[in-house]
Amino acid sequence: MSSSEVTLRLWQNGFTVNDSELRPYTDPANKEFLDSIRQGEIPQELRRGASEVHLAMEDHRMEAFKQSKIKLKAFQGHGYTLGSPAPAVVGTCKEEDKPNNEAKAKEQLKLDSSQPTTNLQIRLADGSRLVGQFNHEHTIGEIRNFIQTARPQYQNQSFNLMSSYPSKILDDTQTIAAAGLLNSAIMQKLV
């Protein structure tokens, strides 16, 4: 059962419905609407598409109507990313598998704690985040392997790793230090 809320404001020089334009009392097109209100009925134009209409009336007949500033309504439609094709939809791994997969990825990485380390935050294509600790001399290719082990759904997916700002595709042969990625965030973008 659909219902709608309607606010009718009566002004000195006309009336408004839900903050719409002023409708003068003298306009013949408004006669049927006003006659319905005087008879205690909901006007036909307000009943369209709703089985229930809740009508609130406000009496401002001692005031002249003043146009209020237009309230902008936020966009509520669907959006698209410009500049690249839409990413493919990928499966996800089960929540209970994630800790085991991440532990396996860390083990395969062979972090050398005697060497300088850095943390990288990886924003994955599915919207999740993955944080890993790496040596400065690990390569972008080793980060790629880390992602594919920690999130197996990306093993058969082609993707680029990109710096966040300025956004550029990272070279798999480059080290983390050489790419200027110490303690930073990178993004995974499916191709």
Task: Say what the pLDDT of residue 123 is.
Answer: 93
List Cβ neighbours of 178 (8 Å cut-off, separation of 6 or more).
Answer: none
Q: What is the pLDDT of residue 187?
A: 93
DSSP state of 166: S
Structure tokens at 112: 């050398």
Task: Give the per-residue pLDDT at 82.
Answer: 66
- What was the pLDDT predicted at 162? 92
- The torsion region of residue 155 among left (phi > 0), alpha (psi -120 to 50) and beta comes to alpha
Of 19, 5, 4, the closest CA to residue 60 belongs to 19
Beta bridge partner(s), residue 189: 160
Encode the chain (191 residues) as per-residue pLDDT tens digits: 577 888 889 999 899 988 888 999 898 888 888 888 888 888 888 877 777 888 888 898 898 888 766 666 777 777 766 665 555 555 555 666 788 888 898 889 888 989 999 999 999 988 889 999 999 999 999 999 999 999 998 888 899 999 887 789 999 999 999 998 899 999 999 98
Query: What pLDDT sits at residue 38?
Result: 86
Could you tell me if 96 and 46 are in contact, meaning their C-beta atoms sit under 8 angstroms apart? no
